[in-house]
Amino acid sequence: MDALGVIFIAAAMLAAPAAQDSVPPADGACELHVWPGSGLGSVYHGWFHGGIVNGAVTGRDGYPQVPPNPIDTPVQRELLEAAQPQRLLQLDGHKLVMHDEALSSRVIRSTPGRIDPSASTCYAELIVDDVLLQQDWVNGSFLRVSFRYRDFGAGQTPSRAFGTWVKAPLAGFSPKRPLDADKLPDEFRSAFTRNISLFADALRKPAKKP
């Protein structure tokens, strides 16, 4: 599937339970469980070729060079924790529970209930689904991130589910000029952090009427 045209609104996310990576808060406390994503994907559009998903990150001939793993799972976890998503998502009463490992696509999409076997009286999830470097010879480069959010309240099925792609520009990462390797780590980190805020903004917008 071509990732460029995807705007995903998740109405239900199914998954088999996954092991918890961090120590839970006291019994009865509200929890926001957060999972980072896996490695970077890519898509590129140039003058004479393009459109192959992951052409750049897999080193295909004719595609711009991309450094290996500029925004890997441990970096995403660090940035998510630093962003304090429970505040951005207006869940100030929730304890942030960070997980170390990315969830598989099967897990994300195949369980209707809580991914973590938490017994907390109110529970929510924030998941990084996909991370994509989008490069375009005309429009520049962006870091696109697909987030999924579910709020269960006190129940075992979500009372709200929402997901979408958001994107932040990578101003110094242009397919038209050589890479500046020294600037790339900060560039990707800043864009990822910006995307966390962009997703929170999208989540807070009132739902569109049918």
- Domain spans in the chain, listed from the N-terminal domain onward: 3-12+27-203
* pLDDT class of 64 with cuts at 50, 70, 90: low
Q: What is the 3-state secondary structure (H, E, C) of 161-206?
A: EEEEEEEEECCCCCCCCCCCCCCHHHHHHHHHHHHHHHHHHHHHCC
Q: Residue 118 in contact with residue 25, Cβ under 8 Å? A: no
For residue 209, the 8-state DSSP code is P
Q: In sequence order, what are the residues at sequence separation of 6 or more whose Cβ sits closer than 8 angstroms to the Cβ of residue 48? A: 62
* pLDDT class of 138 with cuts at 50, 70, 90: confident
For residue 144, the 8-state DSSP code is E
Q: Which stretches does DSSP call E strand in the chain?
A: 30-35, 41-45, 94-98, 123-136, 140-153, 160-169
Q: Say yes or no to pLDDT of 3 above 70.
A: no
Q: Is 42 exposed, middle or buried (0-12, 13-18, 19+ CB in 10 A)?
A: buried
Q: Say yes or no to pLDDT of 7 above 60.
A: no
Return the CATH number of the domain spanning residue range 3-12+27-203: 3.40.50
Whole-angstrom Cα distance, residue 57 to residue 189?
17
* pLDDT class of 8 with cuts at 50, 70, 90: very low
Q: What is the pLDDT of residue 210?
A: 57
* pLDDT class of 198 with cuts at 50, 70, 90: very high
End-to-end CA distance of the chain, in Å?
A: 27
* pLDDT over 70, % of the chain: 70
Rounded mean pLDDT, 130-155? 90
Instruction: Return the minimum-mean-pLDDT range out of 46-50, 106-110, 182-186, 190-194.
Output: 46-50
pTM: 0.78
The top-scoring range by mean pLDDT among 26-30, 53-57, 190-194 is 190-194
Average pLDDT, the chain: 80
Whole-angstrom Cα distance, residue 146 to residue 158?
19
Q: Would you state the structure tokens that stand for residue 188, as one six-digit string?
A: 């990707």
* 63 against 69, higher pLDDT: 69
Q: Say yes or no to pLDDT of 28 above 60.
A: no
pLDDT in tens, 113-134: 999 999 999 999 999 999 998 8
* Orientation angle between helical segments 184-204 and 73-83, nearest 10 degrees: 50
For residue 77, the 8-state DSSP code is H
